[in-house]
Structure 1
């Protein structure tokens, strides 16, 4: 009787641990270990909360960098990013402080912070507008905003030519809604026309800013952070208002990426001030560079409307997985989980792992997720009321508290990094070369 084939293999090659097996075979590496700064590494990140809208009809500026003492402790805070084991940081230069007038800039803080980021070897995803504008631009109803903001973006790209990753305008939909529909920030309007006007100006600002960035950095990577939201209406027949709201959550990205707009939303836009000429301009094509769709998800993003009109949280009914799948199937862009946290410090560790389960599962199902962000590095202030009043209430949602002491969720994030830090952006990502070639091809197949 012939010998068992294993006997022949064992005689020739030994009993396992075969030569070559270390290259992705049974003896290959499992992806654990802290990120190595390889361009193939999945991008684990945090962010430094930096919102700066005005309230009180423009009389009060909320600046979270100031309120959390980051301006004085920026070196310490950036050091915490490295202590965490992270190499990627969502970071904002305070637009309202820098562009003093057309062509006039104050770079003092920006230069100091960016020099420290560069010294530490951190890769910034540079956020250029975060819920506010300089006083001289007033608010998002100003039609000159896209021109002045584009000039600012070009100035930033020229001043920091080593930066490749950008978010021109953070959460366009949330900015327009809070400022012009919900009456909380900036112009504090509560009108459909105000909302559409703010939306037009913000998307146009993002597009033109993106154009200027690409002019000076043709290989730019644009991580467009946008809030993933949904309202579940517990009525037998959904109301017209809720149906429209659930459609409007896509409007900013539809305009940004030149995606065909739903007929009901299109009529809403035309009825509230958008012209056919403007629509044609938006639909001409998406902005240049390499585009990544960032989806922000908090449990409070999902809401249930009861039959009596009361609201309650719908945390994780759809969850980041299902909501991001909706956005991905609509736009077909690589995905970045750009923001998440919970205001309950006791729940934070579990929330972190739940979000990571969402990321790993959607990747297994074929959606290219290239990064994950716990937002933010530090606790925040008054975000439980969306910054509507200056109460000074600390939201314990950071990896570190405001004394810069690590929270349990920070320790859990370190554990997550140690276990998954060396996975690739996409499965088998080693076979793809990450280059600095300019973005040129526009291919849809």
Structure 2
């Protein structure tokens, strides 16, 4: 008896069957530079734009200025296109734009946004990155949500073509470094000031998102939050370490209306959150399509030794394990929204390790929608958390401050060439991103 293969060969030929190129054995494997199609995985970079104050408010750290982006923004944006990237996390300098209630200066923002639009780059617009305008003061100001909501509305009206937003970058980190660690802005070191900053920031994000959605109902909100964890190597754990391992979820719990553990809720109540405020947060999550972005640097993950010494653990759990924990908690689509290392020679290996983490997450069926090497160009003084203005160059960019490529730029180009046309989720061609507003709010 003849094999069925013989009959197939007699009728259809030796293997390159007509029609098989449309998603069969002869279909496209996803390599090639990103096309920018709606179902493309979002490969991105970002331009570091932090602007907290230090020295009790006397010194403003503006990384856009310190890295010369204001003068070289066209050159920087051209580098994004040269890399073959279609997506850019981009932070407008909030403190320079909203000068007071109903008073704005759009000069730089208009120029930069026009160039982004001209180049066909999709911005994820970052609206508050570690600092506020002088007239607001700091994150202890209860008027922040109202002023920030007005700013978000003004941005959405001025740039109606923008769909992707990060209203407030790293809410937890912003509140902790400003109001508990005493490094930025109000430079306070109490639990009450931390909770005050936290609730003002989350409320500002919610109200800002509402204003964006009012003008762009199909907005996509990429909430960028730090993936934190401290391993305590002590036979008997301490309250301080364990509570902060729980408090790392507090910003997203309030933002996404998820009831936190009783210990965390008691902490919030003990440090100034009222029942009325808590009920307001739990009323429901913000509008728009929500993506949970997790930023992961090896230095986010720490080890506390038995003698109390804290050291960077660099990838014990890694982005995959920490983010998977966040995913199981919130069940939101995921993006790897920031990563780098401060050693240029180690950066290519770090890039590949992060990509392995993403592939592993995708294989388990978690919708990982994008990846961002942060940032496009080198940064200044992040080795000390911007706490002191010393001008130390951190060689973590795809390009140095002379705009010359670092080894990680070549590695990223190789990654893009190999994977640049994969879809947001496997078989994502089936699910084009709709332009319809997000309206369905269910947990089933």
Measured in 1, the distance between the counterparts of 2:148 and 2:443 equals 30
Name the SS for the 1:345 alignment partner. coil
How far, CA to CA, are the matches of 1:441 and 1:221 in structure 2? 14
Report whether the alignment pairs 1:443 with 2:442.
yes
How far off is 1:206 after superposition? 0.3
Deviations 1:79-121 (A, max 9, x none): 0000000010000110000001100100000000000000000
Q: CA deviation at 1:24?
A: 1.3
Separation in 2, partners of 1:337, 1:422: 17
CA deviation after TM superposition for structure 1 residue 434, in Å: 1.7
Give distance in 1, aligned partners of 2:4 and 2:375.
Answer: 57
Matched positions, count: 444
Query: Aligned equivalents of 2:48 and 2:414: distance in 1?
Result: 23
Q: Counterpart in 2 of 1:55?
A: 54
Q: Distance in 1 between matches of 2:310 and 2:197?
A: 26
CA offsets, 1:253-297, max 9 Å, x none?
000000011100000000000000000000000000000000000
**TM value normalised by structure 1:** 0.99
- Find out whether 1:266 has 2:265 as its counterpart: yes
**Structure-2 separation of matches of 1:255 and 1:113:** 33
SS of structure 2 residue aligned to 1:294? strand
Identify the residue that residue 191 of structure 1 maps to in structure 2. Answer: 190
**Structure-2 separation of matches of 1:433 and 1:136:** 43
Q: Quote the residue 1:97 is aligned against.
A: 96
Partner of 2:38: 39
Displaced runs of 4+ in structure 1, greater than 6 A?
none
Please list the CA deviations of residues 9-68 of structure 1 after superposition, one character each: whole Å capped at 9, or x if unmatched.
111111100111101111111100000110000000000000000000000000000000
Counting only pairs closer than 5 Å after superposition, residues 133-172 of structure 1 correspond to structure 2 as 133-172=132-171
**Match for residue 425 of structure 1?**
424
User: What is the CA–CA distance in structure 1 between the aligned matches of 2:107 and 2:410, rounded to whole Å?
Assistant: 34
Q: Quote the Cα distance in structure 1 between the aligned partners of 2:315 and 2:364.
A: 19
Partner of 1:81: 80
Moved more, 326-335 or 23-32: 23-32
Q: Kindly indicate whether residue 335 of structure 2 is the aligned counterpart of residue 353 of structure 1.
A: no
Structure 2 regions of 5+ residues with no counterpart? none
- Name the SS of the counterpart of 1:212 in structure 2: helix
Distance 2:170 2:305 in 1: 27
Q: Deviations over 1:124-145 (max 9, x none)?
A: 0000000000011100000000
* Aligned pairs (5 A) from 1:219-258: 219-258=218-257
Alignment of 1:359-374 (within 5 A): 359-374=358-373
Task: Show the 5 A alignment for 1:319-334.
Answer: 319-334=318-333
Give the distance between the partners of 1:5 and 1:89, measured in 2 at CA: 52
Cα separation, 2, equivalents of 1:174 and 1:203:
12
Q: Secondary structure at the match of 2:345?
A: helix
Q: Secondary structure at the match of 1:292?
A: strand
In the alignment, what sits opposite 2:378?
A: 379
Q: Equivalents in 2 of 1:370, 1:5: separation in Å?
A: 42
| Larger deviation, residues 49-58 vs 306-315 | 306-315
Give the distance between the partners of 1:338 and 1:373, measured in 2 at CA. 5
1:335-374 superposed Cα distances (whole Å, 9 cap, x missing partner): 0100000001111000000000000110001110000000
1:135 is paired with a residue whose SS is coil
* TM-score (norm. length: structure 2): 1.00
Partner of 1:120: 119
Unaligned stretches of 5+ in structure 1?
A: none
Q: Secondary structure at the match of 2:135?
A: helix
Two-structure CA RMSD over aligned residues (Å): 0.5
CA apart distance, 1:433: 2.7
CA distance in 2 between partners of 1:340 and 1:20 (Å): 41
